[in-house]
Amino acid sequence: MTIEQKIQYLTKKLNNPKARYTDEELSWLINHIGDPDAKIRDELVCNTFGSGFFEEKFTREQVRFLFENVQKRNLLFYNISKNISYSSLTRSFTCLLLELLIQTNGNQASKYFQILSVSEEQFIFKGLIKYLEEEHDYSGYDEKYGWIHAIAHCSDALEVSVVQTSFNLDLINELLSATHKLFCQINKKFIDEEEYHLADVFIAGLQNNKLSSTDLIKWFNSFNFNPESSSQIEFHRFGNLKSFAEDIYVKLNTANLLDSDLKKYIEKEFSQMY
């Protein structure tokens, strides 16, 4: 079967809610999770994983295979120390696969409920937090490769992670530390709403009592960016944090969940002064 025939065949399966997959087909999909062709990576592989989990097209054994494949091949950190132009695609789209795994693992109505042990679940959480800190490709949309969006995809996975029972206080502290490092090391302005995806992680933590407004204010105070600095990088870093804070403000306020202390803090430190 040629690559074109394989794509056509798998596309038909994608559009069939009753479709099932062979182990060979699942291997092909995981091997193309970071394919540089967006039509394969995004439209076929990513969507197939989505429908596979939510429409329960995979067996529990096949879902275990996917997790073990990610783990053994260390796909979340694939070539992260090397300067290979499209290797971040594998890392980024692995985040989306892990998001599906975490979400269904924690859903009592899912066929894949508790398919992971607590230690395996926490292994994923720790990996995502470490990845957020170590990823150096801050691209959003790329004209050649399509959506890369690594920080956004990692944030999406962390958003569903932070609400899980096993996401404990130690992991919250690791998340705060990693996000702090991210904001301090990025040398450009986010342009594809990455900071909004990050904000959603913190909002989920606040809404599920994993994080308090006091914790968040203390975390904000740990930054010492100078918004009036002549350094463009410093200006962009403050701008990212400001946009992040204001998104938290707007979303919590819209849901009538904005704590008065956090409201006053963000208004004073971000909205009124700059």
For residue range 123-142, list pLDDT tens digits in order. 999 999 999 999 999 999 99
What pLDDT sits at residue 258? Answer: 97
Helix (H, G, I), strand (E, B) or coil at 109: coil
Mean pLDDT of 233-245: 96
For residue 107, CA distances in Å to 53, 61, 98, 101, 102 come to 11, 18, 14, 10, 9
Q: Is the pLDDT of residue 114 over 60?
A: yes
Q: What percent of the chain has pLDDT over 90?
A: 95
Which pLDDT band holds residue 227 (cuts at 50, 70, 90)?
confident
Contact of 240 with 183, CB cutoff 8 Å: yes
Whether 196 shows a pLDDT value over 80: the answer reads yes
pLDDT in tens, 146-181: 999 999 999 999 999 999 999 999 999 999 999 999
What contacts 141, CB < 8 A, 6 or more positions away?
147, 148, 149, 192
Tell me what pLDDT residue 274 has. 56
Q: Name the pTM for this structure.
A: 0.96
Residue 26, pLDDT above cutoff 60 = yes
State the pLDDT at residue 271.
81
- pLDDT value, residue 1: 83
Confidence of residue 273 (pLDDT cuts 50, 70, 90): low
What was the pLDDT predicted at 84?
A: 83
DSSP string for residues in 83-137: --TTHHHHHHHHHHHHHHHHHHHT-TTSTTTT-S-HHHHHHHHHHHHHHHHH---
Average pLDDT, integer, range 67-81 = 98
Over 80: is that where the pLDDT of 244 sits?
A: yes
Whether residue 83 is predicted with pLDDT greater than 90 in this model: the reply is no
pLDDT confidence of residue 229: 87
What are the beta bridge partners of residue 146? 142
